Amino acid sequence: MSSLRDWKGYNEALVKRGLILLDLDFIADWSRELKTMNERKEGARYRYPESFVKLLAIVHAYVLPYRQLEGFMRALSQHVDGLKAPDYTTIWWRVAKMKIDVASSVELDKDVTIAVDSTGIKVSNGVSGSARNGKSNAAS
């Protein structure tokens, strides 16, 4: 039995673990969604739309702890006009109030795809159609 390993393939698999595909279309509806959420709201107004917080909740559930999620959002907001990075406490308060279903069918030791669009959030081990078609923006 050969002890040769496909180091090139192994290295590529490790690099792909850091690949993040983001569809940032939710930013276009940021103001409209916040306006709707804050209508007739008493107390402090929401600063982050529900769709954005859902995305953060899923990323937290599968990928990053709260403080690292804040750091990721700070870095991303430097490259995306209109994206405001929340602090980890704000993320925690909003996410803690949500019911997030973690898909038991998703294997965390394999590539995880988190797809977010107007119909909701889907988490799987496959690549979404929009990612395959190049619709998403790649960041790493």
Does 138 score more than 70 pLDDT? no
Q: Determine the average pLDDT of the residues in 21-42.
A: 86
Q: Would you state the pLDDT for residue 2?
A: 56
Percent of all residues in the chain with a pLDDT value above 90, rounded to a whole number: 32
Annotate the chain with three-state secondary structure. CCCCCCHHHHHHHHHHCCCEEECHHHHHHHHHHHHHHHCCCCCCCCCCCHHHHHHHHHHHHHCCCHHHHHHHHHHHHCCCCCCCCCCHHHHHHHHHCCCCCCCCCCCCCCCCEEEEECCEEEEECCCCHHHHCCCCEEEC
pLDDT digits (tens, 9 = 90+) for 48-67: 998 889 888 888 887 789 99
Domain spans of the chain? 21-38+45-139
pLDDT digits (tens, 9 = 90+) for 68-100: 999 999 998 998 887 889 999 999 999 988 877
Q: Would you state the pLDDT for residue 107?
A: 75
